[in-house]
Every structure is written in structure tokens, then in C-alpha cells.
Chain A
Amino acid sequence: MEKFTYVITDPAGIHARPAGLLVKEAGKFASKLTISKGAKKGDLKRIFGVMALGVKKGEEIEVTCEGADEAAAASALAAFFKANL
């Protein structure tokens, strides 16, 4: 299992557009990918789940990757967050 945390810097938080891009990125991997904010969890491959977390600027999220390509998924997603959010 691979894990990383990230603090959102985008002023609008994880709004519709980045949520869409994020889900698209997550879809490239076979591993089970979970995003959590505090106690709330969402499947990174499901756009409604990601949007429903309502992540705002300054909030910390944790991404968990579990599966055959977990290492690749974690590094790609970490890079995605850094570049887009």
C-alpha cells in the first residue's frame, strides 16, 4: 500500500474541473485508489465521490493506493496534485 498527503493550494479547492481531471488520471491505474479528508472517504475513480468531499483550499487530503501498480499510481497522482491543485 502506498500513501501520501497533500494540502490543497488551489483557491477554488477540488472543484468540478480538477475533480474531472483527477478522476481521469486515476482511471489510468488498476489499483484501488481512495481519497480521504478527515473521516470522509471517496473513491478517486468516481467523480461524484471526489466532489462530494467538498475539499477546499488549505485542507489536507490523504490518498491511498492499493494494488499491482500502486507505486506508479501514487507517484503519478502526487505529481498531479502538485501541478493542478
Chain B
Amino acid sequence: MLVLKGKGVGGGVTIGTLAVFKRQETVVERHSITDIEGEVARFQAARGKAIEQLAQLYEKAVVDVGRDNAAIFEIHQMMLEDLDYIESIEGIIRTQEVNAEYAVQATAENFAEIFSSMEDEYMQARAADVKDISRKVLACLGFGSDAMESASEKFVLVADDLVPSETVQLDKSKVQGFVTAGGSVNSHTAILARTMGIPAVVCTGVSIGAEHDGKLIAVDGYAGEVFVDPDAATLSLMQAKLEQDVQHKKLLDELKGKESVTSSGQKVHVYANIGNTGDLAAVLANDAEGIGLFRSEFIYLENEDYPTEEYQFAKYKLAAETMAGKRVIIRTLDIGADKQAAYFNLPHEENPALGYRAIRICLEQQDIFRTQLRAICRASAYGKVAVMFPMIISLSEVRKAKAILQKVQQELAAEHIPFDKEMEVGIMIETPAAALLSEELAKEVDFFSIGTNDLSQYTLAIDRQNQHLESFFDAHHPAILRLIEMTVAGAHKAGIWCGVCGELGADLELTEKFVAMGMDELSVSPASVLPLRQKIRGL
């Protein structure tokens, strides 16, 4: 088994037959000619033909990959119209009295060299464009051929590098994926592969020789991993990944852009939980309708000191802008218990789950809380942001937290810093106390989100960190379900909406129950969004 690691550029997983890309790349010979003007005319005819071919490629690419990605072939035509390029070739033919093929090749190398030596990585990649257009002219001069012979079966194409015209000319119904030793995520091949939606791994740094032709190859376009001639264990692992990928794409095809609504017309919003802005891509890829829980504590945990307002603002703003008007619920700092950051200097506790954590820290150390609230409020000007307080047990906590928020908003207004005055304020219902008081609490806020993980451990008095208690734990314990039902009823009585952001939200065995309770929103990990939507649509 040969294992290669590169950069994955096209999503997806594929397993198939390896085909090494064959390019007729013999050395161009240099020989003297006598009919100089005849040779120049030969070059001009080949150039004209190449431009014509590029115009056709452009039309094909517009259909295949869209106008924006096809533009490269228009640029290639312009490159062939470039006077510097033409003058260089004609100059070599005339002064050296040599054949057109040699003049084209020499010019291509000189121009490619200029781009290769540039600092900019993007411009370096343009050297491939110069070589590509020159290869086209050479082909029109009758030298070599730049089209791959069509294979009868599907295959995974392996090459040292592929130029755009080679990529687009491939018969896509046969190509399952690409693997290239060179290239970059900026190369047109990578862009085209992405648009075609086929798995590709570039920049593996390893050239695969013709001796591997016809072998089995597995490509993971997400992880950027390639296995040539995989062993049994790797193969079954990749088959499982492929199965998962196919399932996911099928779901996506069926459900993307569709509402999460039951057959009787009851609508449930399916949102995603995220830990940091790095998860946003997964949120979009899985078509979540919003972010139901942005666990802001990870911003604290990944830093060595208290994150500044600006640092936090940038993160929240990115989430708000990326979601483009869809709801983004940011939970304020939920640190303590099992989530510790050294710089908080939290005292050692006998019973941290019942200790100094979350909103309790924020109400005591208000400077930390205010910094975060300022960042959240400022981000609210860039999308539909909502703020949510964790670990609430009483009305007075909610009122105190809201008072601090109000003060922060007044400060921002006085400083003429924009923020959303209508920003929704919600609380987590994750203590039995809050669930029991839900009717009263509902009058204070705009929404509830039930944190079922903590609600379960506090209701059942079972420490979720203690594995010895596994046999006593029942995720569907009637007491938990009754508290959830009570919370939804309390919310609806006050006319506010209620969701779930804990693990139970993704539990498909409970979806029907939640829908029956009238749950308005379920927030789950990005990967669970589509299976959950499918379940809801089947009810």
C-alpha cells in the first residue's frame, strides 16, 4: 500500500481504478529552416487554430462549470493575442532561423520562468497557464496531442500536474477523482474539480509512475488522503467513509433548501451547534437553518489569557455575516465544571458541576461578562444575533444579567457604535429549577433553549463524567421528558419559542415526542442536521 498526503480540494470520497495521465511529452527539436516567412505563417495559422479551440473549450466549460470558472479559457485566448508573446516567438523564428515548434517552446519556458520567479503564490501558479497555451499551439503545429485517450471504464486520474484545458477536456462521466503531485488549492484544476464536485487531492509531492496503472486507489478529498493499493483494513475503512459520503450527498440532494416540516404542516427549525468559527463551513455544507448554540467558551479555552473584545467581536461578526440573516445564538461564557481555563484561577472545588460556573462567574466577575456582551452586541449589527445565558436557576439571575446587558447597550449607544436594538435574549433551561420555573422565566426572555445534557445530570443526580454510573443512566427517563414538556408549555404560555440544544435534540427516537410537545427548534451537530430534517419530514 502506498499512502500519500496532500491537500483535499474537492469534497467527497472515491474508490476506483488508478489511471496515470499520459501526456505525449517528447522533446521539441530545434532545426534550421530556410523559408522564414513560411514558418511565421505556420505559427500564425496554428495560433489562430488554438484560439478557435479555446473558444470552443470556453463554451464547453461555461456549460460544465459556469461562466466564472470558464473565464480562464477566455484569458488563455487573450494570452495568445498578447503581442509580447507573439513578438517573442516570431523574433526567435526570424533571428535564429529555426522551426516554429522550437520558438513556441522556448518562449513558453521564458514566460513561465517570469511567473515562477514571482513572490505571489497565485502568480506562480500562472506559469502553468503559459505552458498550457503553448502546448495548445504546439498541438496545432502537429506536435503531440494534448487530449487523453478515452478509457472505457471509470477511473481516478493521477498526474504530476494537470493544466486547465486538460482538466476540462476530460470525459467527466469517466473521471471519479483527481490526484496530482503538484498543483495548489489555487490552481484552476483545483477550482474546476471543486465545481464539478469530484474528490481531488493536490500537492501530494509524490509522482506516481506508470507501474501503478490499473491498481486500486482510494481518495479522501476531505482529509487529503490517498491510498494506492490499499490493504484490507484501509479499504474497508474507506468503503465505510464512501458509504457515509454517498448517504450524506443523497440526503443533501433531497433535502437541501427544504423546510423541516412534518406532513401535517408543523414546522421545526433545525439549527446547528458550533464550538468555534471553524465549524461554520460544516454548518453551511449541511444546510442548517441557523446556529442554535455557539459555545463561546471555546474562545476562552483556546487562549492563554482573557480574549479581548475585538478578538471576540471578530469571531461573532464572522458567524453573523456567514449565516447571512439566519439566527445565530451565542451562549455567553459557560466555563467551570469540566471546562477549565488556567487564567481564570478558579478555586478547586469538591463538586464543580454544582459549583462556581457559567452565569455565576459572569454575575460575580462582571468585567469579563461586560467584555463579552459588548462583543456580542457589536456583532449583532451584522446579522441576526441572539444572546443566551447558561445555568440559570432563578428570576433574579435573569434580571441581573439583563440589567448588565442593558447597560452595555446604553454605553454602545452613547459611543455611537451600531448594534441590533431588537436582539433576542434567551436562557438555557438546564437545571430542574429553571424547568420548574419556566412559566415565570418565560415572561423575562424571548426564548428558551433546553440543555438536555446538564438537565439530565442534575435531574437524575448522575455525574455525566462518571462512567461507573452508566447502568443507572436513562437518557429517556420520564422525569427528564416531563421537565422538557413543562418547559415548552411554560414558554408557549408566555408566547415565546422553545428549542433543544443538547444531545437529545439529535436523538431520532425522541423527534416525534418533541414535535408532539410543540418544540419550535432543535439544534444539533452539523452532521446531524440532514438526518433530523429527514426524520421530521417523515412524521
Given A20-B78, A43-B83, A46-B84, A13 and B120 contact (CB-CB distance below 8 Å) = yes
- Interface membership of A41, Cβ < 8 A: no
Tell whether, in the assembled complex, residue A46 and residue B83 are in contact, meaning their CB atoms are under 8 Å apart: yes
- Interface membership of B222, Cβ < 8 A: no
Of all chain B residues, which has the CB nearest A50? Answer: B82
Within B80-103, the residues touching A (CB, 8 Å) are: 81-85
Contact residues of B: prevailing secondary structure = helix
Please, could you name 14 A-B residue pairs with CB atoms under 8 Å apart, sorted by A? Answer: A13-B120, A16-B72, A16-B75, A17-B72, A19-B75, A46-B84, A47-B78, A47-B82, A48-B79, A48-B85, A48-B130, A52-B115, A54-B118, A54-B119
Among A12, A45, A48, point to the contact of B111 (Cβ < 8 A): A48
In whole angstroms, what is the CA distance A51 to B123 when docked?
8
CB distance from B226 to the nearest CB of A (A): 29
Residues of chain B with a CB closer than 8 A to A49's CB: 82, 84
- Interface membership of A23, Cβ < 8 A: yes
CB distance from B213 to the nearest CB of A (A): 34
Instruction: Fill in one digit per residue for B249-284: 1 if any A CB lies within 8 Å of its CB, else 0.
Output: 000000000000000000000000000000000000
- Interface membership of A82, Cβ < 8 A: no
Residues of chain B with a CB closer than 8 A to A19's CB: 75
Q: Which of A19, A20, A23, A56 has the most chain B CB atoms inside 10 A of its CB?
A: A20
**Residues of chain A having any CB pair with chain B under 8 Å:** 12-13, 15-17, 19-20, 23-24, 43, 45-49, 51-52, 54, 56
- Interface membership of B344, Cβ < 8 A: no
Of all chain A residues, which has the CB nearest B129? Answer: A16
In whole angstroms, what is the CA distance A19 to B115 when docked?
14
Residues of chain B with a CB closer than 8 A to A54's CB: 118-120, 123
Residues of chain B with a CB closer than 8 A to A20's CB: 71, 74-75, 78
Contact residues of A: prevailing secondary structure = helix
In whole angstroms, what is the CA distance A19 to B120 when docked?
15
- Interface membership of B114, Cβ < 8 A: yes
Residues of chain A with a CB closer than 8 A to B154's CB: none
In whole angstroms, what is the CA distance A47 to B84 when docked?
9
Given A12-B122, A48-B84, A17 and B71 contact (CB-CB distance below 8 Å) = yes
Instruction: Fill in one digit per residue for B109-127: 1 if any A CB lies within 8 Å of its CB, else 0.
Output: 0010011001110110010
Across the A-B interface, how many residue pairs have beta carbons closer than 8 Å? Answer: 50
Residues of chain B with a CB closer than 8 A to A52's CB: 114-115, 118
Tell whether, in the assembled complex, residue B75 and residue A47 are in contact, meaning their CB atoms are under 8 Å apart: yes
Of all chain A residues, which has the CB nearest B86? Answer: A46
In whole angstroms, what is the CA distance A23 to B81 when docked?
11
CB distance from A51 to the nearest CB of B (A): 6
**The 3 nearest A-B residue pairs measured at CB:** A20-B75, A47-B78, A48-B82
Residues of chain B with a CB closer than 8 A to A56's CB: 120
Residues of chain B with a CB closer than 8 A to A15's CB: 122-123
Tell whether, in the assembled complex, residue A51 and residue B83 are in contact, meaning their CB atoms are under 8 Å apart: no
Given A20-B71, A54-B120, A46 and B82 contact (CB-CB distance below 8 Å) = yes
Among A12, A23, A43, point to the contact of B78 (Cβ < 8 A): A23
CB distance from B73 to the nearest CB of A (A): 10
Residues of chain B with a CB closer than 8 A to A12's CB: 122
In whole angstroms, what is the CA distance A48 to B123 when docked?
11
In whole angstroms, what is the CA distance A54 to B121 when docked?
11
Of all chain B residues, which has the CB nearest A52? Answer: B114
Residues of chain B with a CB closer than 8 A to A16's CB: 72, 75, 126, 129
Of all chain A residues, which has the CB nearest B114? Answer: A52
Residues of chain A with a CB closer than 8 A to B122's CB: 12-13, 15
In whole angstroms, what is the CA distance A17 to B75 when docked?
7
In whole angstroms, what is the CA distance A52 to B78 when docked?
15
Residues of chain B with a CB closer than 8 A to A13's CB: 120, 122
Residues of chain A with a CB closer than 8 A to B72's CB: 16-17
In whole angstroms, what is the CA distance A75 to B72 when docked?
27
Tell whether, in the assembled complex, residue B79 and residue A47 are in contact, meaning their CB atoms are under 8 Å apart: yes
Of all chain A residues, which has the CB nearest B77? Answer: A20
CB distance from A11 to the nearest CB of B (A): 11
Of all chain A residues, which has the CB nearest B72? Answer: A16
Given A16-B129, A17-B71, A20-B75, A45 and B83 contact (CB-CB distance below 8 Å) = yes
Within B52-77, the residues touching A (CB, 8 Å) are: 71-72, 74-75
Beyond A13-B120, A15-B122, A43-B83, list 16 extra A-B contacts (CB 8 Å): A15-B123, A16-B126, A17-B72, A20-B78, A23-B78, A24-B78, A46-B83, A46-B84, A47-B82, A48-B79, A48-B114, A49-B82, A52-B114, A52-B115, A54-B118, A54-B120
CB distance from B91 to the nearest CB of A (A): 15
In whole angstroms, what is the CA distance A56 to B71 when docked?
21
Among A24, A43, A51, point to the contact of B126 (Cβ < 8 A): A51
